[in-house]
Structure 1
Amino acid sequence: MSAGATAHAGTRRRVLPRVPIVERAAVTVAVAMVLLAVVGPLIAPHDPYAVDLSKALLSPSGDHWFGTDASGRDVLSRVLSGARVTLPATMIVIVAAALIGTVVGTVAALGGKVVDEVLMRITDIGLSLPSIILALGLAAALGSGLQSAVIALSLTWWPGYARLVRTLVRDVKDAEYVDAARMLGVSRTRLVFRHILPNALNTLYVQTTLDVAAVMLVISGLSFVGVGAQVPSAEWGAMIAAAANNLTNGWWAVAFPGLAIMLTAISFNLLGDWLRVRNDPTIREGAGR
């Protein structure tokens, strides 16, 4: 092979898709929202729970950039503080559901035909029913509150992860490097945790990022219908529910929490798409040509 051809091949190996400005903006917004969950209450200009009826439904101004709600609470402060409520609840649901799904999917893929059939039929039942309907019923049974909504969603969101992990593990377990490790006498536990799972879960990481938007919307929806976070919680969905009756003369109390939900959902969705491109060599090659 000539030097020019070698250089050309090296160049092709290094080609990665350029990050479009939309994805860059999405990453920036996603990181900003995560930071708000950490420092939001610290930088809030007012007490997010301080009631002052003399300032009820003030329109956006220099003193209250996002206006005030029907109880005179500063909407900007509540949106900033709400990031610490909504985002952690979303992450807890995703982590818990992913852990349950990973365990079920891995056991199904490696446990033999009978175990696989039983677990996958249970998973299929879960997938056949809308998660939000199941979560709504469970949250209502557990009692209204954000904790109930988180538990309910964690118990209803795992089937998708279980199906995905089962497929990934079944693909990886027959790979040549896994067979080589097995012939070298590697224990079954070490084989699963050191060779199969780490190489099977890259796709799962992308899926969890994509699910941030969906889970957050469901949590906000449960709060909106009254089985999630309750007033006066600064959770974004609960804020929208509390302000819905004053939409005509206090639109800002609905618009700004809704905008926070929309921006966060879109940014994490685009971030998940970008990670999918980065982790899929076929898409990467197509983008590089």
Structure 2
Amino acid sequence: MSATTTGIATGVAARIRHRVPFVEGAALAVAVVVVAMAAVGPLVAPHDPYAVNLTDALLPPSAEHWFGTDANGRDVLSRVLHGARVTLPATLVVIAASTVIGVLIGTVAALGGKVVDEVLMRITDIGLSLPAIILALGLSAALGPGLSSAVIALSVTWWPGYARLARTLVREVKDAEYVDAARVLGVPQGRLIFRHILPNALNTLYVQTTVDVGAVMLVISGLSFIGVGAQVPSAEWGAMIAGEANNLTNAWWAVAFPGLALLLTALAFNLVGDWLRVRNDPTIRREAR
């Protein structure tokens, strides 16, 4: 995964969390709103997000168009609401696929012996040493522009961090006393892994996945912005910004509102992930007091 992107976002989230009271509640509320937008946004959008009406082009925010209109007369609010259904699911698919790949490789490395561990971890180290966004950019370009290409490319390049984390967690749990007791009692290897080792080793992995939602969303939108992800006129937030970038000086709202939606969503999920990390780590919780 992109250590730089995730680290910067997490650092900003941590500073905000320590300085602003009740910020976790606000961040959780924003995250819930975004999920609700993805679920029902297109149903409550006041206009068709793809309806072109050149007579209403570049109208400023008003009672009829709360977020104004873009260069093709499309309602920006409707497109932002619809964009949540495009951007968030794509992000979650990347997170889910990367987690499955990473957990599989990390678990095999932790349980497969020294040689298997060395081979898989060296491959993982190579993946961690290369910026995910650069690899994703190359793969997206090779697969052809499109949101599906960006999702596939990121899924293939985002797993190394999860593999390293899963390996560490599984190695910590596999020698625990209750695992040894189950092994002595004759519990089959498969049951031992899936019922005893993995559930207890990976119960904190959701913290990292929550933090990564914001980072992956930024990368997906970034790929769309430079033309290898979702394509204009898609309502994906990065594509919306790219499509209206030339109108920034005379129609700021067409760029500002999708950009603000992207910023608030990424920050909210990072804050929620940071809050979960603190709650699950007693050492950090004591230092925060």
TM-score (norm 2): 0.92
Native 8 Å contact 1:224 1:241 kept in 2: yes
Q: Displacement, 1:279?
A: 1.2
Give the letter for the 1:240 counterpart. Answer: I
Residues 156-235 of structure 1 aligned to structure 2 (within 5 Å): 156-235=157-236
Separation in 2, partners of 1:182, 1:20? 47
Letter in 2 for 1:276: R
Instruction: Please state whether the residue corresponding to 2:204 is helix, strand or coil.
Output: helix
Measured in 2, the distance between the counterparts of 1:183 and 1:30 equals 45
Q: Match for residue 67 of structure 1?
A: 68
Structure 2 residue 122 is the aligned partner of structure 1 residue 121: yes
Select the structure of larger CA radius of gyration: 1
Where does residue 155 of structure 2 map in the other structure? 154
- After TM superposition, the structure 1 = structure 2 runs for residues 21-32 of structure 1, keeping only pairs within 5 Å, are 21-32=22-33
Relative to the length of structure 1, the TM-score reads: 0.92
Q: Distance in 1 between matches of 2:27 and 2:43?
A: 24
Deviation at 1:280, TM superposition (A): 1.2
1:5-84 equivalences under 5 Å are 20-84=21-85
- The whole-number CA distance in structure 2 between the counterparts of 1:23 and 1:208 is 17
Matched length: 270
Once the two structures are aligned, what percentage of the paired residues are identical? 81
SS in structure 1 at match of 2:216: helix
Q: Distance in 2 between matches of 1:118 and 1:283?
A: 33
Counterpart CA distance in 2 for 1:286 and 1:259 is 32
Aligned equivalents of 1:144, 1:170: Cα separation in 2: 40
User: Greater CA deviation, 131-140 or 193-202?
Assistant: 193-202
Q: Which runs of 4+ in 1 moved over 3 A?
A: 284-287
> 1:180, 1:279 → 2: CA distance?
26
| Offset at residue 281 of structure 1 (A) | 2.3
State the secondary structure of the residue aligned to 1:202: coil
Which segment drifts farther, 262-271 or 275-284?
A: 275-284
Show the counterpart of 2:146: 145
Are 1:110 and 2:115 matched, yes or no? no
Q: Point out where structure 2 has 5 or more consecutive residues left out of the alignment.
A: 1-19
